[in-house]
A and B are shown apart, each in its own frame.
Chain A
Amino acid sequence: MVSGKKTWLLACLALMLILVSACSNSNKGTETKNGAEQGANGSNETKGSEDAKGSEKTEKVTLKVLQFWPEHEEQMNKSFDLFTKANPNIEVEMTTVTWDTIETTLKTKIASNDRPDIAFGWPGAFTQQFVDDGEIMDLTDKLSQDAEWKDSIVPFSLNFGTTAEGKIYNLPFRGSFFTAFYNKDLFDQHSLAVPSNLSELNQLFASLKEKGILPMASSGSPSLPSYFINYLRTNGLKNDEGSLEDYSKGLIPSNDKNGIGALEQFKSWFTNGFFDKNLLTITREQAQQQFYDGKAAILMANNNELKAIKEAVTFELGQFPLPFDNGEKYAFGSMDGYFVMQKTEHPEEALLLAKFLNSNEVQSLWAKETGSAMTNPTAGDAIEDAFLSATAKEIKNVNPMNEANFYVTYTDQSWTADQESKLQGLLLNKIQPKEIADWLEQKKQETMIK
């Protein structure tokens, strides 16, 4: 009887241990490993094989990378293969999670002292929180002392990872920006031309509307396309020869005539029917469908969606950045970047890999295989498709969609939800443009680090 109980006890204990070990492994994402320990057939080994080759590992350095593109694991592995071939003493262990879990994953890894050496993430608020915690390495001096490295990055894209104090923490990897895709067949059929300034854009919208075509397919749920307001604001600012840098530093108020004018113009686009009348409830997928079906002439979309959009449409696709009156071109967006962790045990090797990720070798591979707008100045040349290549090269025109990404850092972002609510109120006639501009200026002054 007693021995029966003991057997039960042992069985229960074993079951618990299995459960505990299963739980502890369930939230680690996908882990793959590249380097000298990789199998001869080039396939990735799981982490489990690491211990078996422990004696060999003591002579090598293993860099841990946390990244957020499950759909680009292949390109990531190829990049690390290139790196480990050039640096046989280093191997790379990659953990892949989805973009919406990377923040939690990184925080958990930091809390459990299981930091990666390099982590992917966006510049601006995402990076800033880890900078505040002293978790990210300052790369300002490293870049200024290494001309080759610095030259391998489109200069303007570096601003995204630059803090209010002028320090560089986040290295841009590829661009992520909004650009206007249009139905070229529809434009040709109605003899419409690509606009070269705001006035022509307004005329184009009015002509399309008159012909019974929805000018702009855009989603308004869960958030409104506020990049249009930034575009209109910046265009007004440029017309007055104002400095974007001064504006971003808060030296030009949000409630000046251009600020209010941008809100008025955005509202007029909505009331004139240039957007869908149900903009507030239109999801991204619905907006895309309107464009695919030929019901809408222009689709504002992320450059990284281009390949998918091109495959979905049956007409010839065109692209143009939102036009400025002074002839300048800007695409509104941000960068997907990465950073080196301050507490890495292998700073030298981590910096080597960080630099390698900006190299033409890696960047061209990504450009060719994904059509992404890479931050290496010549990577776009690797894309064979002329249209994809032209869009990818728009990286040089990318301008911050959000002021918070550009020099200025806000201590409090809770008001961005209030801002969304007020913009909805603007379109529903519940609040006037000037009230929003005044409120925005007040919030900026309250929360901006000067």
Chain B
Amino acid sequence: MAALRTARFWMIGLFVIPPLVLIFFFTYYLSFQSLRLAFFEFSSGQEIGFNGLQNFRDALNAERFGPAVIVTLKIVAVVTVFQIAGGFFLAYFLVRSNKWVQNIGRVAIFIPVVLPGTVVAILWKFIYTPEGGLLNTLLEAIGLGSWAMPWLGTTETSLYASIAVNIWKYVGLTMMLFYLAMQNVSKDQLEAARVDGATARQELWYVYLPAVKPVLEINLVLTVLGSLRAFDIYNMLTNGGPVGSTTTLTKLIVDNITARNYGEGAAMSVMLFAVIALVTVLIRKSFGGEQK
């Protein structure tokens, strides 16, 4: 019996310890190192000593920091509103559709979520190509040729064109979470509402919306955090340009690290981490408060 217990102990250890070690190293140890780097000075990539909060001051005074914060906040605002609203209404549309539409719709809308960011960026680069691109060709075909433009080549449109791709890629995930929550609405509830004479809008407001509230919190956290860390699609579509109009905070951090400006890059990472932690707590608190 004792031998069995020992074997079980080792068996559990064998499965638990390796992932624990990996998590400790790749998550906690490297995060701690990143925090430490933020307080050290570097020259030609070499650590030359502790310099207090200077990296944070340099980061805040960096020429591209302010614009990058504004770009990131714009992404957070636009993506959060449109992705959450879009996901909700797509889910509501599917729930009220017949099984055939539901099956096709779920897959069609969710496909972009599983596509790699690189593939999505290449695909949309073709769509946005000024000469012969799908979007401009389509606009010309329907008589709106004057609207055709280099969507990723002007400071006025590049950010919103990139945001549209971001939403297109991730709205399927938001939709799927809402859809699953809406499926939990019982037929009895809906029938009771209809017997009471509820209109479609009242049904949506008083039956479906309360049902998806817990999922709304998850969707909000995922969308806001994802937007704060926005990088891959924006970087691949425009490399942060033109004129920094799509340079996000994460892109700035990557640029600094690439240029071996480790201290400043780490300081920006720490600040971004603090904002992400704060936003997460605020969202959770606001929903927790309502539930009570």
Contacts and interface: CB of A to CB of B under 8 A. Distances in A.
Interface of A: 1-2, 5-6, 8-9, 12-13, 16, 128-129, 132-133, 221-223, 277-278, 280-281, 283, 286, 411-414, 416-418, 420-422, 424-425, 428, 430-431
Interface residues of B, number: 39
Nearest to A221: B239
Contact of B7 (A6, A280, A422, A431): A6
Nearest to B44: A132
Contacts of A9: 7, 10-11, 14
Contacts of B152: 280-281
A281 B240 contact: no
A339 B45 CA distance: 20
Contacts of A222: 239, 241
B230 to A, nearest CB: 17
Contact of B44 (A13, A128, A286, A424): A128
10 contacts: A1-B4, A132-B44, A222-B241, A278-B153, A281-B129, A281-B152, A413-B259, A414-B264, A421-B247, A430-B155
Contacts of A422: 243
Contacts of A16: 14, 18
Contacts of A221: 238-239, 241
A128 B63 CA distance: 26
A5 B8 contact: yes
B45 A414 contact: no
A30 B148 CA distance: 47
Given A8-B11, A420-B241, A281 B150 contact: yes
A212 to B, nearest CB: 15
Contact of B46 (A133, A277, A281, A425): A133
Contact of A430 (B8, B125, B128, B243): B243
A169 B8 CA distance: 58
B130 interface: yes
Contacts of B241: 221-222, 280, 420-421, 424
A13 B14 contact: yes
Contacts of B243: 421-422, 424-425, 428, 430-431
Contacts of B259: 412-414, 416-417
Contacts of A6: 7
A280 B153 contact: yes
B103 interface: no
A193 B260 CA distance: 46
Report which residue of B7, B64, B152 has the largest number of chain A beta carbons within 10 angstroms of its beta carbon.
B7
Nearest to A416: B259
Contact of B11 (A5, A128, A286): A5
B153 A129 contact: no
Given A280-B153, A418-B64, A430-B155, A413 B11 contact: no
A116 B226 CA distance: 40
Contacts of A277: 150
Contacts of A223: 239
Interface of B: 3-4, 7-8, 10-11, 14-15, 18, 43-46, 63-64, 125, 128-131, 150, 152-155, 238-244, 247, 255-256, 259-261, 264
A445 to B, nearest CB: 16
6 smallest A-B Cβ distances: which pairs? Answer: A414-B259, A222-B239, A424-B242, A281-B153, A278-B130, A280-B153
Contact of A421 (B64, B128, B154, B256): B64
Given A16-B18, A286-B129, A421-B243, 10 more contacts: A6-B7, A9-B7, A12-B15, A132-B46, A281-B150, A283-B125, A421-B64, A421-B241, A421-B242, A431-B243
A424 B152 CA distance: 12
A211 B145 CA distance: 25
B46 A417 contact: no
Nearest to B10: A9
A413 B128 CA distance: 31
A355 B118 CA distance: 42
A12 B14 contact: yes
A417 B43 contact: no
Nearest to A279: B153
Given A132-B46, A281-B152, A417-B255, A428 B14 contact: no
A278 B131 contact: yes
Contacts of A425: 242-243
A413 B256 CA distance: 9
A411 B48 CA distance: 13
Contacts of A8: 11
Contact of B255 (A129, A280, A414): A414
B242 A428 contact: yes
B151 to A, nearest CB: 8
A6 B7 CA distance: 7
A421 B238 CA distance: 11
B7 A5 contact: yes
A272 B130 CA distance: 19
Contacts of B155: 428, 430
Nearest to B261: A414
Contact of B150 (A1, A278, A418): A278
Contacts of B15: 12
Nearest to A4: B7
B207 to A, nearest CB: 47
Contacts of B247: 421
Report which residue of A277, A416, A417 has the largest number of chain B beta carbons within 10 angstroms of its beta carbon.
A417
A413 B130 contact: no
A446 B113 CA distance: 45
A129 B45 contact: yes
Nearest to B260: A129
Nearest to B265: A414
Contacts of B7: 2, 5-6, 9
Given A13-B14, A424-B241, A430-B243, A412 B261 contact: yes
